[in-house]
Amino acid sequence: MVHTLLKLWRDDEAPTAVEYGLMVALIAIVIITAVALLGTNVQATFNTMAAGMVKRLWQDEEAPTAVEYGLMVALIAVVIITAVALLGTNVQATFNQVAASMP
């Protein structure tokens, strides 16, 4: 066994698909172990942070800043552009019908 490990250690040829597979498996095991050990702590931390942020935003009585107004305008613009893109041809046909029916 030791001889095989030493042979693999001294091998200077390019890695094979099996070696890449072993590296991927080892990395996956490390990630799974880290997530299993730290997952609940990280989730609890994020939940605490989210609750604090929501509470702070809910209790904040200051007026919106220019950045918040900018974000609202950008969101409204995205909604309008999406609606026009999706409904544009139907709306145009309706306006054309209304315009044609007017004297």
Instruction: Verify that 6 and 51 share a domain, yes or no.
Output: yes
Instruction: Verify that 84 and 54 share a domain, yes or no.
Output: no
Instruction: Verify that 53 and 31 share a domain, yes or no.
Output: yes
Instruction: Verify that 92 and 103 share a domain, yes or no.
Output: yes
Instruction: Verify that 46 and 73 share a domain, yes or no.
Output: no
Instruction: Verify that 54 and 88 share a domain, yes or no.
Output: no
Which tens digit of pLDDT belongs to each residue from 76-88?
Answer: 999 888 887 777 7
Q: Which helix (H) or strand (E) holds 12?
A: none
Instruction: Verify that 53 and 4 share a domain, yes or no.
Output: yes
Domains contained in the chain, number: 2
State the pLDDT at residue 12: 64
State the pLDDT at residue 19: 77
Q: Which domain holds residue 46?
A: 1-61
State the pLDDT at residue 15: 66
Instruction: Verify that 21 and 56 share a domain, yes or no.
Output: yes
Helix boundaries (H) for 11-65: 17-59
Please give the model's pTM, rounded to 2 decimal places: 0.33
Q: Whole-angstrom distance between the N-terminal and C-terminal Cα of the chain?
A: 96
Which tens digit of pLDDT belongs to each residue from 26-75?
Answer: 888 888 887 777 777 777 887 888 888 777 767 766 666 788 888 889 99
Instruction: Verify that 56 and 103 share a domain, yes or no.
Output: no
Tell which phi-psi region holds residue 63, choosing left (phi > 0), alpha (psi between -120 and 50) or beta: beta
